Amino acid sequence: MDVRILGAGDTAILEKVADSVFDNAVNLRLSAEFLSDPRHHLCAAIDDGVVVGFGSSRRALYRAAGGEETTGVVMTTFSVRAPS
């Protein structure tokens, strides 16, 4: 198994995804847009060329106590296909 952080140009990896990893079928156009946005992050677990799990997060700008702007990463989704 290989674990990779995907970026712009990695959309083709999402053409082969195991059942139940994502809630819906992968839309490659929207996936390319997501992967091209530097605020979004997608880590994929790939087994024999098939995505079997992923973690997704986004970078957000927010105001910390005292009014200082800071950046944080928020984990939004995590999924792993159950072993067969």
User: What is the structure's pLDDT at 59?
Assistant: 80
- Cα 12 to chain centroid, rounded: 14
The CATH number corresponding to 2-80 among 3.40.50.300, 3.30.360.10, 3.40.630.30, 3.40.190.290 equals: 3.40.630.30
User: What is the structure's pLDDT at 75?
Assistant: 60
Residue 50: which residues within 8 A CB-CB, separation 6 or more?
16, 17, 18
Q: How far is Cα 13 from Cα 65, in angstroms, rounded to an integer?
A: 40
**What are the boundaries of each domain within the chain?**
2-80
Per-residue pLDDT of the chain (84 residues; tens, 9 = 90+): 899 999 999 999 999 999 888 889 999 999 999 999 998 899 999 999 999 999 888 887 767 676 666 666 666 666 676 566
pTM of the model: 0.77
Paired strand residues for 69? 63
Alpha-carbon distance values, 5 to 38, 56, 64, 65, 69 (Å): 12, 10, 28, 31, 27
